[in-house]
Chain A
Amino acid sequence: MRHGLILWRENELSLADVKARQVRLQQAIAAAGLDGVLIYTNHVRSAGVTWVSGFTPYWSDGLVLVLREGLPIFLTALSKRVGEWVKSVAPTFEVAHSPFPGKLAGERLAQVGAKRLGVVELDRMPGGVVDEILSVLPVELSDATELFTAVRGQADRAELDLVRHTDNIAREAFKAGDINGKYAGDFTGPVERAARLAGAEECYVAVAPDLSKDRRFIRTGRQELGRTFAVRLSIAYNGVWVRRIETFSAVSEIAARLSSVSAELDRASPALAADGSISAFYLPNGAKLIDWHLEAPHGTRPLKIVADAQTPLAAPVPYGILTTAVILDGETIVASRPVGLGDMSAREAAE
């Protein structure tokens, strides 16, 4: 679930920002000849609804129905008491309650005489919800993932600013970790605490405890840390997800080298294009790149791998998280940084 601070912050993501996104989606709906688009949400598959409304459920699930015109409708089985909380953190849609939200969607679609409904990730929509819709209205369903991805792929200034802010939370939180700790939890516990104290909405910590043996990340507090280890911090803040991976060592000579690489990545990464290419990626002198992938928001997924050495990027993304693994002087270094945060006005001109 989401445990952290969830608030409506007009200064970070304004009603006007969200309205502009809704209008862009409504224009695409009309252009595709659809009557509306339905987007599913729970706290794992939250990204679609978060983008179109600024809202993320802390628990349970719901649907957002975007019709060609008017305010989107959040359809939920959550109680009216929880509905008051929903309205307080997302004044961007109408909230409608029913033990059967799919049925309610069908009723709202019937009211506007809808015949064609696009569903983001139709294949993944809970079957019970689809059954409820069709029990009310025999509407023609089609997959609207591509349509949504095309609209969503365009970055806006508010989102990129939030990505920068969230990455700052992650960068600062790492400073709370004790590199001399014996166990993974000695490092990750204080890091998670720092991220949450800074207002993170959610925080997942994973660790590769000994990079000399394995660079796969697991969730553990109990494993002993090796000479070099990496920590992956996945943080949500105001609906935006960022991952940041840092590699650490208690050996001072290695630590100094790692610190220098980290600082250089911080300098170079934000301006890198999130285009699925790493030709401009900063590679320390003498380092050998052994792996990379690019993650980005996709459909209802906050972050999903959208490109790697084998798979080119299929569609533009609003921003990305580039993860790289390199070997430098015999040590494995893993790092993740947000990319595609370059000057917004330049991006707007390009688009």
Chain B
Amino acid sequence: MAFFRKGHEIHTRRFSRNMGLGLVLAAFVALVFGLTIAKVSQDEFAIPDAAEGAGYGEND
């Protein structure tokens, strides 16, 4: 028995599409990460006041 099974024909046929989509998704993750860092590094960024959040649910 071979260590690696021979891939299904569809994997060969769709290699370019799958590889392209994988790279696009990886780039998207990197972009969202970079965007997050850029946003939180800006001067106007402020973490919401913890006291405001504490009020939620008190009147439930």
Q: Are A and B associated in one complex?
A: no
Residues of A within 8 A of B (CB): none
Residues of B within 8 A of A (CB): none
